[in-house]
Structure 1
């Protein structure tokens, strides 16, 4: 089990958020350190089932090639943030299209300490729900700066990755149409 002390301000912020959030370690295999209740509600997994694991287990056996390439570029430092749709599976096996947003949290010396992620199910959502999520995520990231500054952490990147909602919904619909053709529930 990976043990890393998470600043109280960070833990409180993530726990109190009403959007699905996760915090991962910035080293080794990027195991999850903390997930909130909306994350648990979305995936069906309890905290004890996910903490210490890399969240790639949510992908099951699906390839997710483009999304994985974007995530790898982010993890390798080629991108400050990543926002992509990725096919995930709930604990009960039901698939969902996850709109994943990831950013790095750096300490004041510039060292990446954590990976911050937000998840949103765009499987069958209405565009207005996605727009509301975008607004909520934008506010959450803005508030992160204040919450994390108490812990001498800075969120990397900007809100420019929270753009192009129409293209994201279109990508999710294509993924869903592929799913519908394979017999997934």
Structure 2
């Protein structure tokens, strides 16, 4: 299992206040590291998830549209990033709607080395919290670029903006209601 994450990159990700995960670009995209906000959001410790694919958070949720978008991103090396709401479950089984952002981190030679991901619970969020998250993620990506560059890694793409935060949150609440109805049936 690849564990050669450059120290500067690992330190930067672990110090971020945004929930972040870094996965290998090879094979089944196993997680290489997750930070404390990721653990707080999901309830999983690094020991629970490192070495496994992040899809373990989906459990049995259908997520057909989100999965299609993620498969398309992973299959198309020219697609710089993807952002999609996806139903995930905390370690204790509580469902939440994760606004997942993923991008590629490439070597200077163009090889995709890592998959970078950020998670945000939009299930019960307010539009101003989502706007604050977007600002934090944008700042995180802006600060990540020079840190990654020092390690010979290029941050691919830029943050996709949300046209209507209220609509995103409303969609997330509908998704969560559907999951809760299915589990209570």
1:3 Cα deviation from its structure 2 partner: 2.7
1:94-116 C-alpha deviation (Å, 9 max, x unpaired): 00100100000001000000000
Residue equivalent to 2:36: 37
Moved more, 169-178 or 101-110: 169-178
Q: Residues 95 and 176 of structure 2 are in contact (CA less than 8 Å); yes or no, is this contact kept in structure 1? A: no
Maintained 8 Å contact 1:83/1:162: no
TM-score by length of 2: 0.94
Q: How does 1:2-151 map to 2 (within 5 A)?
A: 2-77=1-76, 79-151=79-151
Alignment correspondent of 1:167: 167
Could you tell me which runs of 5 or more consecutive residues in structure 2 were left unpaired when the two chains were aligned: none
Aligned-partner Cα distance in 2 for 1:163–1:95: 23
Distance 2:23 2:111 in 1: 15
Q: For residue 79 of structure 1, give the secondary structure of its aligned residue in structure 2.
A: coil
Where 2:124 maps in the other structure, the secondary structure is coil
Question: Any idea what SS the aligned residue of 1:175 has?
Answer: helix
Report if the CA contact (8 A) 2:96-2:121 is conserved: yes
> 1:176 maps to which residue?
176
Q: Provide the rounded CA distance (Å) in 2 between the counterparts of 1:81 and 1:170.
A: 23
- The normalised TM-score by structure 1 is 0.94
Q: Secondary structure at the match of 1:93?
A: coil
Q: Is the CA contact (8 Å cut-off) linking 2:8 and 2:148 kept in structure 1?
A: yes
- List, as ranges, runs of 4+ consecutive aligned residues in structure 1 with deviation greater than 3 Å: none
Q: Does the 8 Å CA contact 1:138/1:162 hold for their aligned counterparts?
A: no
The count of residues paired between Structure 1 and Structure 2 equals: 182
What RMSD in Å do the two structures reach over aligned CA positions?
1.3
Query: What whole-Å deviation, never above 9, does each CA across 1:29-67 have from its counterpart, x for those lacking one?
Result: 000000000001111111011000000010001110000
SS of the residue corresponding to residue 88 of structure 1 reads: strand
CA positional deviation for 1:171: 1.9
Instruction: Measure how far apart 1:183 and its partner are.
Output: 4.6
